[in-house]
Each structure stands twice: as C-alpha cells, then as structure tokens.
Amino acid sequence: MYSRECNCDFQYRGKIRVQIYQEDGRWCLIHFLPCKSVMYGAEIIRQLKISTQKIVNDHQSSQRKFKTNSKERNRRNFCLCR
C-alpha cells in the first residue's frame, strides 16, 4: 500500500510496510539503518497524508462556495430581467 493511497478499510488504517533487507541480505536503504529512522519516516508519511487531506478538503469547500454564489447571481439576474 502506498502512503498516499486512500484505503478506507479500518484494519489497514495507520499501518505501513517497510522492507529492510533485500533478497540477498543487503540493506535496502542505508538511510534507514536504525529503528528510530524508520519510525521518523512513518511519522513524516502520516503528516504528509494529513496535510494533503486538509488541502483537498479546503479546495472542495471553496468550490462549493463558488458554485452557490454563482447560482445566487443567476437568480438575481433572472429576477432583474423580468
């Protein structure tokens, strides 16, 4: 599962999978040698996911406001034309 993938299943919420070793026994990434760095990466992924959800929600709410305002304008113009 990718970090930005929206999976609504409750059992997968908040879990990540980290591959530490390759098939031949070497480390996959040298940057994630200690366990603390893996936990830091998981924390950063969570923060990115929360911030992207906020941006999407703000964008959708602004679009809704714009749509309602344009409808009100059309109603006003229609009333003035009579």
Query: 30-74: per-residue pLDDT in tens?
Result: 666 666 777 777 777 777 766 666 666 665 665 555 555 555 555
> Is 44 in contact with 31 (CB distance < 8 Å)?
no
Which DSSP symbol is given to 14? T
> Is 37 in contact with 63 (CB distance < 8 Å)?
no
Q: What is the pLDDT of residue 25?
A: 78
Q: Is residue 4 part of a domain?
A: no
Beta bridge partners of 21: 27
Q: In this predicted model, which residue has the larger pLDDT, 17 or 78? A: 17
Q: What is the pLDDT of residue 42?
A: 73
CA–centroid distance for 69 within its chain: 28
Q: Is residue 3 part of a domain?
A: no
> Is 16 in contact with 23 (CB distance < 8 Å)?
no
Q: What is the pLDDT of residue 67?
A: 54
> Is 4 in contact with 48 (CB distance < 8 Å)?
yes
Is the pTM higher than 0.85? The answer reads: no
The tally of domains found in the chain comes to 1
Q: Quote the domain boundaries for residue 70.
A: 10-81
pLDDT tens sequence across 22-40: 788 777 766 666 667 777 7
